[in-house]
């Protein structure tokens, strides 16, 4: 069979791409093997600049020249890379931090990491390097991946403005971490002397409920062991552990780091000493720069939490932070197919922001309807419903009242932007049965005995006291099936069944 020129070129291109993928994968594997050798005390060579595909403008030294992060000495090389991730372009002390560490420990690699090239450019001393994470189209992917630029066994994560005054403080942290062996403590932290002390917190992350809960942790005699930190601290972690995280250097660093380590069951040990000094506090010289930093922190926190699928944070002081939908935004999920929202396929439950919207709408509607009654003949008594045949109504609180297009019932949406809603189904009595003239395909759209409503009884519902059926268990079993309270199930088990063993 004759092969055309185009076929030959295509075959060659495929082979070339496979070779590139092989060598990139092989290089990454070799880097991981080199880190493991450090733990056994073996010697390694530093990654040369040529091995980074040039790296010009991506990994640069003080003079703007490409270079490698690893610093090779006689015998055994350094065990720790000092890494500074959190700083602002418009005002920072990255150069001072690098000078402080390299003056005391000139053999240690120092790496500043930024999402994009900083402007104004950083002024770094000899021995310090800058790594830019944003990829560029003319460079191979490993140029921008930090795991290719850290050649040591440990990484010391330091905040902006910190100073190293005790040269042997790093060895103390290493001894503490190695003393934990293979236990759950995978990070060791030392406080930074600042206006507010660093706090040890317990963090529980529930991805199914889209929620992270922070609570205070008790202190121990030899330091606190917890799952998260709040405040300024220097943190030591094994390089292999750091780069086994899905987002090893996300921002804000501590928020990103501890969500991921908590999900893995890892703990951090906060020591009482050694302490690192911080002469540059506050970090920002003006109220405007402080406002800019606070705004960027809020934006970065929202971005990383949304990427992790966390929509609600419960803070140690009892306050809440929300990163899901609101009255001003669309709801968190799209059109539901087969009675099964998309999040159920991810083994997650209804997002808490959506539940909040539904509860607020339900409480609002109940308060209005209870002044008008609940039978079909009472619709003309309700100002929000009586004129809906001619269109929808946006009331003074932003709720949207409308007649549903799917059938003879009403719908109240959370807002014009957010279409989370509650449906109102007007029934009328006929021979002791509550009925209506039109029906939908909903399984719960059925007649029911009027005695459930004679009388109505108060009950706790959606955070308020509302009037409902006098036998709510029998009413729910009529609508949803026997045993529905003790054995709940997803709306369409044929598509997605609730696994009760995971509850």
The series of mean pLDDT values per 10 residues for the chain, 503 residues long, is 61 64 61 52 35 39 41 66 97 97 97 97 96 95 94 97 94 95 93 86 97 85 83 96 98 98 97 88 94 97 97 96 97 95 96 97 93 83 84 93 86 97 92 92 91 94 90 94 91 91 75
Helix-strand-coil split of the chain, %, nearest 5: 30, 20, 50
DSSP per residue, 153-183? SEEEEE-TT-B---TTHHHHHHHHHHHTTTS
Q: What pLDDT score was predicted for residue 148?
A: 95
**Nearest one of 446, 455, 445, 451 to 432, comparing CA atoms:** 451
Between CA 228 and CA 261 the distance in angstroms is 9
Is the separation of the CB atoms in 49 and 66 below 8 Å?
A: yes
Q: Which of 62, 177, 49, 70 is nearest to 129 (CA)?
A: 62
The DSSP element (H or E) to which 253 belongs, if any, is: helix 253-263
pLDDT confidence of residue 187: 98
Could you tell me the pTM of the whole model?
A: 0.83
**Structure confidence by residue, pLDDT tens digits, 340-394:** 999 999 999 999 999 999 999 999 999 998 888 787 888 888 889 888 876 789 9
Distant-in-sequence, close-in-space partners of 87: CB < 8 Å, separation ≥ 6: 93, 94, 112, 114, 160
Model pLDDT, residue 70: 33
Tokens of 81: 């890379």
User: Which residues are 155's β-sheet partners?
Assistant: 81, 237
User: Looking at residue 4, what is its pLDDT?
Assistant: 67
Distance CA 321, CA 303 (A): 13
Task: Dump pLDDT digits (tens) for 6-28.
Answer: 666 566 666 666 666 566 566 65
Q: Report pLDDT for 273.
A: 83
Identify the DSSP state of 223.
Answer: B
d(CA 305, CA 321): 10
């Amino acid at each position: 069979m004759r092969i055309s020129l185009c076929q030959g070129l295509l075959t060659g291109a495929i082979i070339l791409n496979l070779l590139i993928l092989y060598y990139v994968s092989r290089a990454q594997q070799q880097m991981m093997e080199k880190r493991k050798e450090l733990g056994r005390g073996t010697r390694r060579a530093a990654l040369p600049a040529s091995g980074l595909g040039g790296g010009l403008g991506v990994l640069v030294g003080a003079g703007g020249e490409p270079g490698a992060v690893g610093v090779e000495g006689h015998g055994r090389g350094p065990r720790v890379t000092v890494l500074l991730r959190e700083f602002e372009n418009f005002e920072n002390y990255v150069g001072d931090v690098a000078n402080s560490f390299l003056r005391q420990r000139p053999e240690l690699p120092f790496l500043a990491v930024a999402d994009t090239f900083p402007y104004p450019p950083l002024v770094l001393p000899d021995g310090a390097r800058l790594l830019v994470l944003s990829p560029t189209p003319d460079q191979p992917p490993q140029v921008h991946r930090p795991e290719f630029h850290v050649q040591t066994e440990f990484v010391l994560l330091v905040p902006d403005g910190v100073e190293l005054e005790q040269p042997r403080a790093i060895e103390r942290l290493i001894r503490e971490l190695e003393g934990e062996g293979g236990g759950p403590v995978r990070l060791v932290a030392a406080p930074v002397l600042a206006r507010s002390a660093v706090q040890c917190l317990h963090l529980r992350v529930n991805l199914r409920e889209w929620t992270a809960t922070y609570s205070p942790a008790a202190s121990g005699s030899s330091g606190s062991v917890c799952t998260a930190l709040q405040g300024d601290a220097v943190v030591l972690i094994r390089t292999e552990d750091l780069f086994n995280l899905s987002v090893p250097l996300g921002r804000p660093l501590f928020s990103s780091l501890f969500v991921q380590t908590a999900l893995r069951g890892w703990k951090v040990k906060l020591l009482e000493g050694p302490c690192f000094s911080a002469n540059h506090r506050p970090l920002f010289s003006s109220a405007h720069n402080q406002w800019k930093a606070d705004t960027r922190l809020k934006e970065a926190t929202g971005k990383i939490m949304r990427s992790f699928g966390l929509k609600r944070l419960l803070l140690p002081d009892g306050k809440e932070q929300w990163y899901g939908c609101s009255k001003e935004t669309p709801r968190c999920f799209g059109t539901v197919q087969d009675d099964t929202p998309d999040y159920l396929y991810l083994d997650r439950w209804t997002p808490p922001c959506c539940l909040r919207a539904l509860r607020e709408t339900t409480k609002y509607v109940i308060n209005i309807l209870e002044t008008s009654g609940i039978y079909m003949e009472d619709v003309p008594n309700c100002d929000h419903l009586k004129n809906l045949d001619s269109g929808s109504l946006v009331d003074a609180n932003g709720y949207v009242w409308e007649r549903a297009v799917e059938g003879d019932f009403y719908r109240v949406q959370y807002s014009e932007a957010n279409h989370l809603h509650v449906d109102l189904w007007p029934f009328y009595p006929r021979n002791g049965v509550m009925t209506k003239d039109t029906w939908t395909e909903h399984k719960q759209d059925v007649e029911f005995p009027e005695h459930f409503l004679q009388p109505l009884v108060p009950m706790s519902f959606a955070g308020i006291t509302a009037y409902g059926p006098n036998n709510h268990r029998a009413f729910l079993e009529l609508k949803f099936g026997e045993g529905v309270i003790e054995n709940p199930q997803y709306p369409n088990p044929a598509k997605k069944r609730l696994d009760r063993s995971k509850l």
